[in-house]
Amino acid sequence: MPMRILQLTKKFPYPLKDGESLAISYLAGALDAQGCELTLLSMNTCKHYSDPRALPQDEQHWESVHVENVDTRVRPFPALRHLIRKESYHIGRFVQDGFRTRLIALLREKEFDVIQLETLYLTPYIDDIRAHSNAIIALRTHNVEHEIWERMATNQRPGLKRWYLQTLSNQLKSFEISQLSRIDLLVAISRRDLDRFRELGYQGPAVCLPIGLDTVRYTPCLKAFNRTVSLAFIGSLDWMPNKEGLLFFLEEVWKQAKAEGLKVELHVAGRNMPPSLLKRKWEGVHLHGEVHDAKAFINEHAVMVVPLLSGSGMRAKILEGMALGRAVITTSLGLEGIEAEPGEEVLLADSAATFLKCLRYVIDQPEELVQIGRRARTKVLSEYDTHRQAKKLIDAYRSFLVEISS
């Protein structure tokens, strides 16, 4: 009998334009390929609305797909109410009666072996699951959620905004810790994150499952290595860590690079570019907005830059760049969860000075970029293929199911 898995998600995992959607959809495809019977129940938010009918045939990994339209927009009065009550508004926005009703109906209609919560934001529904299902509850953590806001607060100047971000991170941290005792199995995205959850008090069974790519979809194009070196930045600019990192790179690195006369261009792609960025004129910077094909955009440039200063978990876009044979320049934080060797498979920079050093290197040593890219691609093919990750997860689920039944 196939393993029956219900995936709960806070956003519809298509189109594949961000790390969360890639992580959810690629794993679902691999679980389906290995004989699991998958059901999807997804929120469809105003911010990331997608028409489920547009899901192409090769992305239909689920036996059935259920979608509930929800409004998770930030509103001042509910935000203030949560602040006064010392409750996490990050989580509160995803507590939706319509989604709860759809979940309960689905649990009454069908039995599942595993209910896989994609991110912390689905944990408010654990009581409903327990009341209507005997399935094991697995929390797949795409990152340590409170760390994103904790790190962003640290990067702010002292003042009201820093205080507010720190308050939000503290509330989210309290909630995150409180949920660790309520799940049956933790699926952490990196060994580092798993160790962090252990420090926060998690004592149950766990498996470390990095993001995996459907690597057959990634074909490198080497034409960009025969042209003047150009850099690619791609990421949703309505996600604060992406915006923060890009602005740091432009203000602290790019200005100096141009002052030194470095002959290099930067191409920026990503949805929801802020008007403040669009109004600025940066020498050698080309703003593309949202691109139709992320892989084609990355392939147009020999180097990919990911200047993250905050955030948590793994960056799927770095894995995509590596899978396409690009030389990736990123920070230690950006590289978290990815076992790549700095200087061999990626280039590491943690300050404006070291980013500039990397830029000089890629301009002066363009022949080395192909070799770095080849080693990066080999790393992804051997260690970050989604089918390898799916088998590991299925084995973990089966082992836990056997344990609780004996």
Q: What is the pLDDT of residues 30-47, one digit of tens each?
A: 999 999 999 999 999 988
Q: What's the whole-number mean pLDDT along residues 210-238?
A: 94
Strand 185-188 relative to strand 136-141, pairing = parallel
Q: What sign has the CA pseudo-torsion 231, 236, 239, 243?
A: positive
Same domain, yes or no, for 245 and 174? no
Quickly state the pLDDT bin for 52 (edges 50, 70, 90): confident
Return the pLDDT at 154. Answer: 86
Q: What is the pLDDT of residues 96-150, one digit of tens each?
A: 999 999 999 999 999 999 999 999 999 999 999 999 999 999 999 999 999 988 8
Same domain, yes or no, for 35 and 182? yes
Return the pLDDT at 23. Answer: 94
Query: Which one has a higher pLDDT value, 405 or 169?
Result: 169
Same domain, yes or no, for 306 and 346? yes
Same domain, yes or no, for 259 and 343? yes
CB distance 358 to 376 below 8 Å: no
Q: What is the pLDDT of residues 79-90, one digit of tens each?
A: 889 888 999 999
Quickly state the pLDDT bin for 163 (edges 50, 70, 90): very high
Residues across the chain: 406
Return the pLDDT at 151. Answer: 82
Residue 310 has pLDDT above 90, yes or no: no
Separation CA 325–CA 373 (nearest Å): 4
Return the pLDDT at 21. Answer: 93
Mutual angle of helices 316-323 and 366-383, in 10-degree steps: 110
Same domain, yes or no, for 140 and 237? no
Return the pLDDT at 121. Answer: 97
Q: What is the pLDDT of residues 226-285, one digit of tens each?
A: 999 999 999 989 888 899 999 999 999 999 999 999 999 999 999 888 888 888 889 999
Same domain, yes or no, for 377 and 391? no
Q: What is the pLDDT of residues 353-375, one digit of tens each?
A: 999 999 999 999 998 999 999 99
Return the pLDDT at 271. Answer: 87
Same domain, yes or no, for 393 and 346? no
Same domain, yes or no, for 204 and 221? no
Burial state string for 193-211 with b = 16 or more CB within 10 A and e = fewer than 16: bbebbeeeebeeebbbbbb
Q: Which residues contact 300 (CB under 8 A, 6 or more apart)?
A: 221, 224, 230, 232, 267
CB atoms within 10 A of CB 76: 7
Return the pLDDT at 61. Answer: 96
Separation CA 228–CA 110 (nearest Å): 57
Same domain, yes or no, for 148 and 39? yes
Question: What CATH number has the domain bearing residue 297?
Answer: 3.40.50.2000
Rg of the chain over Cα atoms, rounded to whole angstroms, equals 21
Count up the domains in the chain and report the number. 2
Same domain, yes or no, for 74 and 44? yes
Return the pLDDT at 54. Answer: 85
**pTM (two decimals):** 0.91
Mean pLDDT score across all residues of the chain: 94
> Six-digit token pair at 274?
């802020």
Indicate the residue type of 255: K
Q: What are phi and psi of 226, to 5 degrees?
A: -100, 5
Same domain, yes or no, for 247 and 205? no
The boundaries of the domain holding residue 92 are 4-212+385-405
Same domain, yes or no, for 231 and 300? yes
Distance linking the first and last C-alpha atoms of the chain:
18
CB atoms within 10 A of CB 19: 23
